[in-house]
Chain A
C-alpha cells in the first residue's frame, strides 16, 4: 500500500508537541486469508477500528482473551504491521503508511519486550553482545561508549554485578534474568515507548511480580510510555495507569484502572472480572457466573455489537443490528455498549 496523499500534506514541524506518544484513530488491521486461485479475498478483522491514545510516561494495559486482536494491535502500533485503515500517530506525526526506510527513527524510539525470554535472544551471543547490537545497528558511539551503555543498562535492570552478567550466555540465565536482559536491550536506544506483549506470562508466579515492578520503575525513572498487552486483568490492575478491554478485534471499554475495574461499564468487562478468582477459601462453596459460548470468529464476526450473542443484557433489534459507538460516560472512561449508562 502506498502512503496516502493526506499524510504527506501534514505539516509535521509546525504542530505543537502532542501530549500523547501514540494515537490511534479508528485503526484497522485486516489480514487477507483468502487462499487458492479462485477464492478471492477473505478478510480476518484482527483489529477492527480501535481508537485510543497513550500519554507520555503512562502505561496502558490492553487486556483480552486469545484471539481478541491484542497482539496484532501491539504489532501494528509499532508498525511491525502496516494498518489497513485508520490513522496511527507517533508524537503527533502520521506514521500510518510510512515506508520502512522512513521509519528508521521509530525503530529507535519504539521498542518491544517479547513474551518468550527463551527464544527472543540470540543463544550464540553473550549478554554483552545482545545488548550492544542495537547500538551497533544504529551506529551509536564508539566501542568504549557502547561498553559503558551496556553496563548501565544491566544495572538499571538489576543484573548486578554487570560485569558478571555481561559475559554470560542466555542458557546460563534463569527465565527471569533472561527477561531482564530483554528489557535491558529494549532500553539501549533510550526509547520513548515500549510495547510489552505478555512480558511475564512465561515466568513463574513469584518472578512475575519482580519483573513487572522493574518495568514500572523503569517507566518512572526514564519517563517511558508502555503498552502492556496481557490476558491477566489482575496484573493489569496493579501495574498500569489505564486499561483497555478488547473483544473480537474491538476495544469495548477503556479508562483509568480505578474507573474500569472499580465501576466496569461493559458487560464483557464485568464477566471477565467475575471470572478471575482471588485466593479465598469461600470460592469453592459457590459457582462462578460464566458466559455461554465462545469468542466469535474474526472472519465473520456477529453483526452489531460483537459481544451480543454472549451478552446477558443484549437487546434484540438493537445490539444485534447496530455497532455500538465508544461513548465517554465517565471522565476519561469510555465504553462501547448501547445499554451502558
Chain B
C-alpha cells in the first residue's frame, strides 16, 4: 500500500463554552492516498467543518483540547510550530475552499489580484509573474484570462466559485479541503462545478476532503466515505461498500432518508435530533435514535426515564406502561420506580417485567434493563453498563456493537 499523503490519527478538538466543553471532534482517524478523495458526510453540527479546521489548524480562541496526529507527506505536522505550519502546510500543502467563500471575495479588489495573493504572501515573487500564474490558475478552472481584471460583483455565482477554487489551487497543494463547495449554487451550476472538480482531481492528481451533508453529491467525488455523527467518525470505508451495504445503522438510516430521483422507495426519516455535543450521550452516541439498539448500546437512567415519560405522554402508548407514581435516577445505570398504590410492589415488578419483555422490540430502550428488583416501596431497575463501541474492521470500519456480534 502506498504511503498516504494525509494520515489523520485520533484527532481531538474540544471547544470551551459556558455550557461546558463541546466535543466537536472526538477521536477521528482516517488516511488518504494521493489522488484519493474522502467525503465526510454528516448532519449540521456533527463536526465535519471542525475536523477540517483542525487539520488546517484554523482554531478559534476557545480551544480546550487539540490533540492527535496529522501526518502530511510523512511528517507529523502537529509537531510544527505555528510559523512553520503556516509556511509549509497551510495552502502550500493543504488548502481549503471554505463554505460560502465565494461571498467573501473582496468586493474592491480585482479577482486576479485575489487569486495571486497567496503567491505573493508565500513566495518572494515578481508581480508580473504572479499575475501570469493567476491567469493560468483561472484557466485551469475554466475561466478566461480577462476575468482576472473583473471585480467579484461582475461575476455569477458559478464563476465566483471557480475563482475560489482557483485560489485554493494556486500554490499547487496536494490536498484540498472542499467545505460544501456547491451548497449555495443552483443545481445546474452545481453540476458544472462538480464536473470541474472531477477534471482537476484527475489532471492535478489532487486529494480532496469533501465535506457535505448530501450523500448524492458525496458519491460524485468520493473514493472513501466517512460518516460523522456527534463528533465521531462512526463509519469509514470505500464508497462501493459504504453506499451499498452500510455497516453502521446510522449510515443506513442516512441513506434511507435521501429522497431519490431514480427510485420509488419512499424516503424515511431518522427520529429524534442529533445530540448536544456539550453532553454527548454515554455509550454509542447514536443509541437514542437507533432502530436496532440493544443491551450494550448505552442507555442511562435519565434517558430511560425520559423515554418512559414519552410513552406515557402519547395517546397511543400510555396504556401500555404500568401505572407509575414517580421515577428517579439513583445513579447513571440505576433507577427507582414508585408504583401507584394498587397491589404490592412485587406485583408491579411483575407487570413491569412483562411490559419490558413484550415491548422491547418496539421500544428499544427497554432492552437496556438488566434486572428488576422489588424493594420495600419501590422497584429498582438496573441497566446494562454503557460502553462506547470501538471501531471494528480494517479499511472499512464502523463503531457499532452489532458488528462485534457478527451482524451488520
Contact = CB atoms under 8 A, between A and B. Distances in A.
Interface of A: 65-66, 160-161, 164, 174, 176, 204-210, 213, 231-235, 237-239, 261, 271-281, 283-284, 287-291, 294-295
B220 A284 contact: yes
A213 B257 CA distance: 12
A288 B195 contact: yes
B106 interface: no
A234 B188 contact: no
B213 interface: yes
11 contacts: A65-B186, A206-B257, A207-B269, A275-B188, A278-B261, A281-B222, A281-B238, A284-B239, A288-B195, A291-B191, A294-B158
Nearest to A65: B186
B262 A288 contact: no
Contacts of A205: 43, 213-214, 254, 257-258
Contacts of A231: 186-187
Interface string B256-281: 01111111001111110110000000
A212 B217 CA distance: 21
B350 interface: no
A209 B259 contact: yes
Contacts of B259: 209, 232, 234-235, 237-239
B17 interface: no
Interface residues of B, number: 52
Contacts of A160: 313-314
Given A65-B186, A294-B158, A237 B273 contact: no
Interface string B312-350: 011000000000000000000000000000000000000
Interface of B: 37, 43-44, 156, 158, 186-192, 194-195, 198-199, 213-223, 238-240, 243-244, 253-255, 257-263, 266-271, 273-274, 313-314
Contacts of A209: 257, 259, 267-269
Given A213-B269, A284-B222, A261 B261 contact: yes
Contacts of A66: 186
A271 B195 contact: no
B227 to A, nearest CB: 12
A130 B219 CA distance: 42
Given A276-B187, A277-B219, A279-B218, 5 more contacts: A206-B254, A278-B216, A281-B219, A281-B238, A281-B239
A60 to B, nearest CB: 17
Contact of A276 (B221, B261, B267): B261
A281 B244 contact: yes
Nearest to A164: B313
A-B residue pairs, 6 tightest by C-beta: A281-B239, A209-B269, A210-B269, A206-B270, A279-B215, A277-B216
Most chain B CB neighbours (cut-off 10 Å) among A234, A271, A289: A234
Most chain B CB neighbours (cut-off 10 Å) among A176, A207, A278: A278
Contacts of B254: 205-206
B243 A277 contact: no
Nearest to A211: B269
B195 A287 contact: yes
Contacts of B274: 204
Contacts of B257: 205-206, 208-209
A257 to B, nearest CB: 10
Contact of A288 (B37, B194, B239, B258): B194
Nearest to A214: B269
Given A161-B313, A281-B239, A204 B43 contact: yes
B223 to A, nearest CB: 7
A213 B269 CA distance: 9
Contact of B198 (A176, A238, A280, A287): A287
Contacts of B222: 281, 284
Contacts of A280: 216, 219, 243
Contacts of B188: 65, 271-272, 275, 290-291, 295
Contact of B258 (A279, A287, A294): A279
A287 B117 CA distance: 32
A237 B264 CA distance: 9
Most chain A CB neighbours (cut-off 10 Å) among B194, B254, B259, B269: B259
Given A65-B187, A234-B259, A277 B269 contact: no
Contacts of A207: 269, 273
Contact of B267 (A233, A238, A272): A238
A134 to B, nearest CB: 25
Contacts of B186: 65-66, 231, 295
B240 A281 contact: yes
B195 A278 contact: no
Contacts of A295: 186, 188
A35 B23 CA distance: 52
Nearest to A68: B186
Most chain B CB neighbours (cut-off 10 Å) among A271, A279, A288: A279
Contacts of A234: 258-261
A244 B199 CA distance: 34
A279 B255 contact: yes
A275 B195 contact: no
A90 B326 CA distance: 54
Nearest to A288: B191
A204 B44 contact: yes
A239 B214 CA distance: 19
B305 to A, nearest CB: 15
B316 to A, nearest CB: 10
Contacts of B218: 279
A238 B256 CA distance: 13
Contacts of A294: 156, 158, 189
Contacts of B220: 277, 283-284, 288
B221 A284 contact: yes
